[in-house]
Amino acid sequence: MTRTLIAHLSPLPDGPVEVAGWVETVRDQKKVQFVILRDETGVVQLVNPATRDLGEDASDAERSAAALTETIGGLAHGTMVRVSGDLKHDERVKLGGLEVKIGSLTVESEALPETPIAEDSSLDKRLDWRFLDLRRPEANLIFRVQTTFEHALRTYFVDNDYIEIHTPKLMASASESRAELFELGYFEGTAYLAQSPQFFKQMAQPAGFGKVFEIAPAFRADPSFTSRHATEFTSIDAEISWVSSHEDVMRMHEEALAAAFGAVVAKRGAAIEEAFGVELAVPSVPFPRIPLAEARRIVAEGGYEIPRADGDLDPEAERRLSAWVKANHGSDFVFVTDYDSTIRPFYHMRHEGDASLTNSYDLLFNGVEISTGAQREHRVDVLIEQAREKGLEPEELEFYLDFFRYGVPPHGGFGMGLARVLMLMLGLSSIRETTYLFRGPTRLTP
Amino acid sequence: MTRTLIAHLSPLPDGPVEVAGWVETVRDQKKVQFVILRDETGVVQLVNPATRDLGEDASDAERSAAALTETIGGLAHGTMVRVSGDLKHDERVKLGGLEVKIGSLTVESEALPETPIAEDSSLDKRLDWRFLDLRRPEANLIFRVQTTFEHALRTYFVDNDYIEIHTPKLMASASESRAELFELGYFEGTAYLAQSPQFFKQMAQPAGFGKVFEIAPAFRADPSFTSRHATEFTSIDAEISWVSSHEDVMRMHEEALAAAFGAVVAKRGAAIEEAFGVELAVPSVPFPRIPLAEARRIVAEGGYEIPRADGDLDPEAERRLSAWVKANHGSDFVFVTDYDSTIRPFYHMRHEGDASLTNSYDLLFNGVEISTGAQREHRVDVLIEQAREKGLEPEELEFYLDFFRYGVPPHGGFGMGLARVLMLMLGLSSIRETTYLFRGPTRLTP
């Protein structure tokens, strides 16, 4: 007999079924035993009439029934069992209006009796036992939402003739900066872990790939402990040729996001509302665009003085700006554009005629930055000049600069943190909840 | 005016168009100039009537025409240009029966006059200049095929309710063996790069995820220089719960591959035949299954003595076995099953009643191993025993062994090298051709 997923039981007629999953609870009453069984799709009630206190003249069938009763009574929470039985629809059963009368039950894998985490365990403790923590239906849903989101995003890219690339994570030099760089021995030499696929996705442009995307890990030796940072994270990247400005990048970016949110709302919207109380909507495009200088004015007019000198927004300013955008434009998303050159990397293109501003943007979603995008500087002499100005040695960037010496189209793209998008989409408080196995300065296990 | 991709010109009516791409060749004749322009979709001929040797009384229009002629005459191979002009269908034009008469031409990015690689450059030299090497239409096609293949594979998984996971590549211990392990400083401690997602995709099983997949980088400090090995490669992994044996894994594996090959044949089959002379077919399922012991007999009966003592097949034996399968079963694929325990990792489940054999398989495609799969041992006491027997210290595996202590379903899965599949699919001689940027013991750039 083939296993039926619990979510698929309901439409079946009464009759024999096989289910498999883990024991959530056992209610061991004198005359009847109830087991709540969960699998990756839901929960179902199993029922068994108890057979106890056999006399000496008990039949084989009675002995076997008594053995089953004993087995069920001893089931620890989490134990994996396979059950054959009879499905019966009965509207008096609160749990989905059906139950399975146990015919036979096989213990596939016993759980230790003491579960190391409970509902009120701290996040850190839950992460120690992440494989148990992930059994929560909400956690399962997070990663189903992630799957739907990513697949829709990729489908958008594939349908629009993007090439999927897998850029190397082992590099001979830094991709972003010498800070926050993981270094490793590489045979006789040294390698570094890619902080982003920046240089290599740009390489696809002189390579004539036109439009590319990648969803892959990136690594930052970032010592911070915020709810938004990790030392390893999944980065969604795209890069396209022949853009006229960052506007072309933003248009592609918002279209891709609208497609992905559309898929999530359609497939997981109801489950998200039930589990997280979030009524997810498909964002309308275009998202509002607000130049950084104007964003600063809006925040200042709202009575908040940004406590940093470099002109960038801080997290509180991002929250306030997003609230203003939500109130005035009805959008959960906002592109903050035209960042000052001083707070952007050397490879961002600057305004023609005003080198103090860049053709760049940050995307804020529900008050938090989820992405940075830009048109890239593709003129090698300007690029070298900008690298020098940022204190970089062009000699160390030779392999990257070569990409610009044999013809390269104007291009731009973005990088976006997957776990951040999910955290903000589902109203959660930390990317630790939306990362399968979080990695931070003091967390490298399990 | 919006840029039109070259492949999309043909159905357009005669009239104004804009194209953009890089210069392949310039034929600078006395009276007329021809430019072959390529973009990510194809090539088109541009034409310009030459204007030279103006008299002193030349008009502005004539001067501007002469300037255009001079610009075109000086275009280096690879230079990126944007061209507005008039599309004209003309069946006398060999290249697709159309040409574009140049109205205006903008040089977006000049190429250095000397291209560092030529058609006859060695593979190693081509890899030095990979961004130029990838401009070849065959290279572009390889990564479009990869995109189609991967997306169809993911679509198969998503349609079958798999969860996509992103397992960490930073680990506190080895995932496969202490050999071929990259080690890095991690704040005050040490981390290792994941050699495979093995432990973490198994973690999804006690986590109740049911079915999971991942396509992500894996790292091996492998000093070998074969055409099939790299220090960083893209691994396709799947792992499913509630299997009865490796047979369930193979069935899923072949179904997924048939779906992915089907998509490639449908979308890229004609282009593959034209570029690589390979007539790709959708494989029929089930693939033949041959136990390793029988495979050894077949190879021995074919007159080949395998020069290794451990009972495994060597590359020549794999080629011979595949040829035999092709001749006798008409299949390009074969599952070699039931490997000896001595040549399998500790986590492969062994036969009930014969611990010398495992519930495992290798998948060969066109004569080369592309994947290893197995049912996993999920009984923690047996697992510990098998680890000890392989010389591992269970104490070092505690975090992994914990996965098996709180209930875990029987499960199994496979890992498969993406670049190998592509190499064998397209009849290429090295994974260096099917990897975007190859990484080997002596190659860490560009």
- B1 pLDDT above the threshold of 90: no
A132–B209 C-beta distance less than 8 A: no
Does B82 lie at the interface with A, CB-CB under 8 angstroms?
A: yes
Per-residue pLDDT tens over the stretch A152-179: 999 999 999 999 999 999 999 877 777 8
pLDDT given at position B55: 86
Per-residue pLDDT tens over the stretch B114-124: 999 998 999 99
Same domain, B267 and B378: yes
Percent of chain B with pLDDT over 70: 100
Instruction: Specify binding-site residues of B for ATP.
Output: 369, 417-420
Q: What's the complex ipTM? A: 0.96
- A89 pLDDT above the threshold of 90: yes
Structure tokens at A6: 């619990």
Instruction: Specify binding-site residues of B for L-aspartate.
Output: 176, 220, 372, 376
Cα B372 to Cα B249: distance, rounded to the nearest angstrom: 11
B446 in a structural domain: no
CB A366 within 8 A of CB A320: no
pLDDT given at position A56: 87
A vs B: CB pairs below 8 A? 279
With H, G, I as helix, E, B as strand and everything else as coil, classify residue A225.
Answer: coil
> Higher pLDDT residue, A224 or B336?
B336
Residue whose token pair is 């439009």? A211
Q: Which of A154, A399, A400 is the closest to B151 by Cβ?
A: A154
Percent of chain B with pLDDT over 90: 94
Torsion sign over Cα A187, A189, A194, A197 = negative
- B175 pLDDT above the threshold of 80: no
Q: Which of A135, A146, A170 is the closest to B164 by Cβ?
A: A146
- B387 pLDDT above the threshold of 90: yes
Q: How many CB atoms lie within 10 A of CB A157?
A: 24
Same domain, B201 and B103: no
Per-residue pLDDT tens over the stretch B364-375: 999 999 999 999
pLDDT given at position A117: 96
The type of residue at B158 is V
Going by the DSSP 8-state scheme, the letter that residue A427 receives in this structure is T
Stretch B418-436: mean pLDDT: 98
Same domain, A52 and A154: no
Q: Write the secondary structure of chain B as one string of H (helix), E (strand) and C (coil).
A: CCECCHHHCCCCCCEEEEEEEEEEEEEECCCEEEEEEEECCEEEEEEEECCCCCCCCCCHHHHHHHHHHHHHHCCCCCCEEEEEEEEEECCCCCCCCEEEEEEEEEEEECECCCCCCCCCCCHHHHHHCHHHHCCCHHHHHHHHHHHHHHHHHHHHHHHCCCEECCCCCEECCCCCCCCCCCEEEECCEEEEECCCCHHHHHHCCCCCCCEEEEEEEEECCCCCCCCCCCCEEEEEEEEEECCCCHHHHHHHHHHHHHHHHHHHHHHHHHHHHHHHCCCCCCCCCCCCEEEHHHHHHHHHHCCCCCCCCCCCCCHHHHHHHHHHHHHHHCCCEEEEECCEHHHCCCCECEECCEEEEECEEEEEECCEEEEEEEEECCCHHHHHHHHHHCCCCHHHHHHHHHCCCECCCCEEEEEEEHHHHHHHHCCCCCCCCCCCCCCECCECCC
Q: Which of A163, A231, A407 is the closest to B110 by Cβ?
A: A407
- B165 pLDDT above the threshold of 90: yes
Distance from CA of A1 to the nearest CA of B (A): 12
Distance from CA of A181 to the nearest CA of B (A): 10
Q: Which residues pair with B86 in a beta bridge?
A: B16, B101
A118 in a structural domain: no
Question: H or E segment at A78?
Answer: none
Per-residue pLDDT tens over the stretch A94-153: 999 999 999 999 999 999 999 999 989 999 999 999 999 999 999 999 999 999 999 999
Cα A427 to Cα B146: distance, rounded to the nearest angstrom: 36
- B178 pLDDT above the threshold of 90: no
Does A22 lie at the interface with B, CB-CB under 8 angstroms?
A: yes
Distance from CA of B418 to the nearest CA of A (A): 10
Going by the DSSP 8-state scheme, the letter that residue A73 receives in this structure is H
Same domain, B352 and B210: yes
pLDDT given at position A396: 86
pLDDT given at position A101: 98
pLDDT given at position B103: 96
Same domain, B146 and B10: no
Per-residue pLDDT tens over the stretch A277-318: 999 999 999 999 999 999 999 999 999 999 999 999 999 999
A395 is in an annotated binding site: no
- B347 pLDDT above the threshold of 80: yes
Residues of B in contact with A135 (CB under 8 A): 206-208
Per-residue pLDDT tens over the stretch A322-350: 999 999 999 999 999 999 999 999 999 99
Torsion sign over Cα A43, A48, A53, A56 = negative
Same domain, A103 and A137: no
Same domain, B211 and B268: yes
Q: A236, A248, A406: which to substitute to probe chain B, counting the most B Cβ within 10 Å? A: A406
pLDDT given at position A55: 86
Same domain, B372 and B408: yes
Phi, psi of B226 (to 5 degrees): -75, 175
Same domain, A319 and A357: yes
The domain in which residue B56 lies consists of 6-109
B407–A242 C-beta distance less than 8 A: no
Q: Residue B56's pLDDT band (boundaries 50, 70, 90)? A: confident
Residues of A in contact with B436 (CB under 8 A): 165-168, 200
The CATH number for B155's domain is: 3.30.930.10
Same domain, A105 and A134: no
A434 is in an annotated binding site: no
Number of structural domains chain A divides into:
2
Name the residue of chain B whose CA is nearest to A231's CA.
Answer: B170
Residues of A in contact with B400 (CB under 8 A): 446
- B177 pLDDT above the threshold of 80: no
A353 in a structural domain: yes
B170–A147 C-beta distance less than 8 A: no
Does A147 lie at the interface with B, CB-CB under 8 angstroms?
A: yes
Q: Residue B174's pLDDT band (boundaries 50, 70, 90)? A: confident
A122 in a structural domain: no
Same domain, A214 and A72: no
Q: A205, A444, A445: which to substitute to probe chain B, counting the most B Cβ within 10 Å? A: A444
Mean pLDDT, rounded, of chain A: 96
Per-residue pLDDT tens over the stretch B217-240: 999 999 988 888 999 999 999 999
Does A113 lie at the interface with B, CB-CB under 8 angstroms?
A: no
A379 in a structural domain: yes
B80–A210 C-beta distance less than 8 A: no
Q: How many CB atoms lie within 10 A of CB B389?
A: 12
Going by the DSSP 8-state scheme, the letter that residue A27 receives in this structure is E
Q: What is the largest CA-CA distance in chain B?
A: 100
Mean pLDDT, rounded, of chain B: 96
A431 in a structural domain: no
Same domain, B102 and B131: no
The CATH number for A31's domain is: 2.40.50.140
B41 in a structural domain: yes
Per-residue pLDDT tens over the stretch A21-48: 999 999 999 999 999 999 999 999 999 9
A117 in a structural domain: no
Cα A392 to Cα A397: distance, rounded to the nearest angstrom: 8
> Strand pairing of A411-417 and A232-241?
antiparallel
Residues of A in contact with B410 (CB under 8 A): 108-109
Q: How many CB atoms lie within 10 A of CB A409?
A: 23
Q: Which of A115, A154, A403 is the closest to B406 by Cβ?
A: A115
Residues of B in contact with A184 (CB under 8 A): 182-185, 193
Which has the closest alpha carbon to A404: B214, B439, B112, B227? B112
Does A446 lie at the interface with B, CB-CB under 8 angstroms?
A: yes
Percent of chain A with pLDDT over 90: 94
CB A349 within 8 A of CB A361: no
Q: Residue B54's pLDDT band (boundaries 50, 70, 90)? A: confident
Cα B146 to Cα A123: distance, rounded to the nearest angstrom: 39
Distance from CA of B6 to the nearest CA of A (A): 12
From chain A residues 374-403, the ones with a CB under 8 A of any chain B CB are 378-379, 399-400, 402-403
